């Protein structure tokens, strides 16, 4: 099976090279394969069988990567779970996804209270001994058409859905990405995004290329900067809000010594002022990644690198254009393609798309139409194939018949001095139906005035896009992928959406 092929190939070609690094701990490719085989043997002894869905409930740590490879060997689909998920949320997801076994860190696993024989705890002496036991696994019966993983969607508008992806689908998306990004075994990838999110597919792409994967259990900006400076990191994978915190730690006009080739950003639009500052601080290329779990992962990208002449004309406000092997179009409500420049729904035809949502045939039918994945994102395509997003279809604010896209307002707000973070939702209005409401996190020590912000927005936004009110908050609720949880903000407003 494909995951086993990855391990076998790199063990033969560069077995003693580092595969996964976490702090002072690390595994070479030979050690990673040995650990995965031993864990597969142990799970088999504990009754995990081909087809059993197994939750992996943990922060980012090397045991998570070992577990994914072990489960893939057994043909037992892994179900990555955000370590912050509450026991009640987990119980709901576990029932809907038919979870048979739980692996993870002691504290979150023990909060669940499952039977001991149905759990495997990373922190236990037994598991740590298993990692180096050198046990032979049972023969693998996994095939490319078998389910590899059930990836939970972000759940920004409700309960997360389970996206079933096969090993063959992920292999196709990996080949597309590697043809685009030209990654190889010289890459040292610092992965700051959660291994429990659908964006983990990006991590798999680089592991398939033989990259060394660096992990951190917690995002701490100064520790991240030390990793970049001291560990020879060549690529970083994170969300824009992490970059914003990183730049606050860097400070104004500072330069960070590094060997970076690319900083990869996904899950949210990149603020252009932030991008300019980061380019000055790190002096490397920046890559935008636009993807969706249901579409199999990344399907659009752009790379901005001053050392590459062909990137000079890249429209940085766009989400990029399709990677090789994937087709992206803008469709109307009847799934018909629209001409360049017209706003519609971004639709994706990809060989690596999901098979279906687990236990939800109706939602599967709404998302997969004639083979196309309807993303729920509104946008338009320019004459060079670049996709320009407007907003999530469900998030559009309808003010007196005019569409207001929250992301557009948020980008304008982000340009005001003193704003560290911002989010926009629609609130009911007797006259207009809905109007925008802005939530702002003020940068520490900054002088901030809501009235001054509203004045700043006049002339930068059309009158119908102007927010009715600005509220300051201590933080913007986001999921593990960095996406704004607008429903949480809406609940704080007493039912506004």
How far are the Cα atoms of 141, 402, 404 from residue 396, in angstroms, in the given order? 47, 10, 6
Residue 400 confidence (pLDDT): 61
pLDDT tens across the length of the chain (497 residues): 789 999 999 999 999 999 999 999 999 999 999 999 999 999 999 999 999 999 999 999 999 999 999 999 999 999 999 887 778 778 888 899 999 999 999 988 888 877 788 999 999 999 999 999 999 999 998 999 999 999 988 654 457 789 999 999 999 999 999 999 999 999 999 999 989 888 899 999 999 999 999 999 999 999 999 999 999 999 999 988 789 889 989 988 889 999 999 999 987 777 788 889 999 999 999 999 999 899 999 999 999 887 665 566 788 889 999 999 999 999 998 899 999 999 999 999 999 999 999 999 998 999 999 999 999 888 999 999 999 987 666 777 877 656 677 887 888 898 898 999 999 988 887 767 778 999 999 988 888 999 999 999 887 787 778 898 999 999 998 866 667 888 788 877 764 44
DSSP string, 247-282: HHHH-TT-------SEEEEESSPPPHHHHHHHHHHH
Are the beta carbons of 153 and 295 closer than 8 angstroms?
no
C-alpha–C-alpha distance, residues 458 and 357, integer Å: 44
CA distance 125 to 108: 17
B/e letters for 374-413, b = 16+ CB within 10 Å, e = fewer, are bbbbbbbbeeeebbbbbbbeebbbebeeeebbbbbbbbbb
- Tell me the longest C-alpha to C-alpha distance in the chain: 70
Are 150 and 97 contacting, i.e. CB atoms less than 8 angstroms apart? yes
What H or E segment, with its residue span, contains residue 330?
A: strand 327-331
Q: Structurally, what CATH architecture does the domain formed by 2-142 represent?
A: 3-Layer(aba) Sandwich (3.40)
Instruction: Pick the closest to residue 411 from 385, 428, 432, 389 (CA basis).
Output: 389
Q: What does the alpha-carbon distance between residue 99 and residue 489 come to, in Å, rounded to a whole number? A: 31
In whole angstroms, what is the distance from residue 477 CA to residue 217 CA? 20
What is the per-residue pLDDT for 460?
A: 79
pLDDT at 496: 44
CA atoms within 13 A on the CB side of 117: 5
* Stated length of the chain: 497
pLDDT at 405: 74
- Fold of the 396-492 domain: GMP Synthetase; Chain A, domain 3 (3.30.300)
pTM over 0.85: no
Contact indicator for 363, 357 with CB cutoff of 8 Å = yes
Q: What pLDDT, on a 0 to 100 scale, did the predictor assign at position 403?
A: 67
Q: Which ranges constitute the DSSP H helices of 115-260?
A: 125-131, 167-181, 200-208, 221-230, 240-250
DSSP 290-316: EEEGGGTEEEEEEEE-TT-GGGTT--T
Residue 475 DSSP label: -
Residues 293, 354: contact at Cβ < 8 Å? Answer: yes
Q: What pLDDT was estimated at residue 157?
A: 47
Rg of the chain (C-alpha set): 23
Angle between helices 240-250 and 221-230 (to 10 degrees): 80
Q: Which long-range contacts (CB under 8 A, 24 or more apart) does 278-286 make?
A: 278/243, 278/246, 278/247, 279/304, 279/306, 280/253, 280/255, 281/247, 281/250, 281/254, 281/255, 281/256, 282/256, 282/258, 283/255, 283/258, 284/258, 284/260, 285/261, 285/311, 286/262
Is it true that 2-142 and 188-392 share their CATH fold? yes
Collapsed DSSP state (helix, strand, coil) of residue 363: helix
Query: With respect to CATH, is domain 188-392 assigned 3.30.1490.440?
Result: no
Residue identified by tokens 């990137």 is 311
Which sequence spans correspond to the domains of the chain? Answer: 2-142, 188-392, 396-492
Among residues 343, 334, 229, 354, which one has the least CA distance to residue 291?
A: 354
- Where does residue 371 fall: left (phi above 0), alpha (psi -120 to 50 degrees), or beta otherwise? left
How many Cα atoms within 13 Å fall on the side-chain side of residue 135? 20
């Amino acid at each position: 099976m494909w995951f086993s092929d990855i391990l076998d190939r790199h063990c033969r070609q560069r077995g003693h090279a580092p595969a996964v690094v976490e702090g002072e701990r690390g595994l070479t490719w030979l050690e990673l394969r040995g650990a995965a085989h031993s864990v597969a043997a142990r799970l088999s002894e504990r009754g995990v069988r081909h087809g059993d869905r197994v939750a992996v409930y943990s922060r980012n740590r090397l045991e998570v990567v070992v577990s994914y490879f072990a489960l893939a060997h057994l043909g037992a689909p892994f179900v990555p779970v955000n370590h912050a998920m509450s026991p009640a949320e987990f119980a709901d997801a576990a029932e809907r996804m038919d979870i048979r076994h739980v692996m993870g860190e002691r504290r979150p696993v023990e909060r669940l209270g499952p039977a001991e024989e149905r759990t495997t705890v990373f922190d236990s002496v037994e598991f740590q001994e298993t990692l180096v036991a050198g046990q032979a696994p049972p023969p693998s019966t996994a095939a490319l058409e078998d389910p590899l993983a059930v990836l939970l969607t972000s759940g920004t508008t409700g309960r997360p859905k389970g996206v079933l992806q096969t090993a063959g689908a992920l292999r196709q998306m990996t080949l597309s990405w590697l043809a685009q990004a030209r990654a190889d075994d010289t890459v040292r990838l610092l992965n700051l995004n959660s291994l429990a999110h659908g964006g983990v597919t990006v991590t798999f792409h680089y592991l398939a290329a033989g990259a060394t994967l660096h992990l951190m259990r917690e995002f701490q900006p100064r520790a991240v900067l030390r990793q970049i400076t001291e560990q020879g990191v060549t690529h970083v994978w994170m969300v824009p809000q992490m970059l914003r915190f990183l730049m606050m730690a860097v400070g104004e006009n500072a330069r960070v010594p590094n060997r970076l080739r690319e900083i990869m950003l996904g899950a949210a639009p990149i603020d252009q002022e932030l991008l300019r500052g980061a380019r000055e601080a790190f002096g490397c290329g920046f890559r935008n990644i636009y993807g969706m779990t249901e579409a199999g992962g990344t399907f659009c990208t752009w790379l901005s690198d001053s050392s590459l002449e062909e990137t000079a004309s890249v429209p940085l406000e766009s989400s990029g254009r399709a990677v090789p092997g994937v087709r992206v179009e803008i469709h109307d409500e009847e799934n018909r393609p629209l001409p360049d420049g017209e706003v519609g729904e971004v639709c994706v035809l990809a060989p690596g798309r999901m098979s279906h949502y687990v236990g939800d045939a109706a939602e599967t039918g709404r998302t997969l139409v004639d083979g196309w994945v309807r993303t729920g994102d509104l946008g338009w395509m320019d004459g060079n194939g670049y996709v320009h997003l407007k907003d999530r279809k469900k998030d559009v604010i309808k003010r007196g018949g005019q569409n207001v896209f929250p992301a557009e307002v948020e980008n304008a707000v982000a340009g005001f001095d003193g704003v560290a973070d911002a989010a926009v939702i629609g609130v009911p209005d007797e006259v207009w139906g809905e109007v925008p409401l802005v939530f702002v996190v003020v940068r520490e020590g900054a002088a901030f005035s809501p009235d001054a912000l509203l004045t700043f927005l006049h002339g930068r936004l059309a009158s119908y896009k102007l927010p009715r009110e600005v509220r300051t908050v201590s933080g913007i609720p986001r999921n593990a992928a960095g996406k704004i949880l607008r429903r949480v903000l809406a609940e704080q407003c007493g039912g506004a959406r």
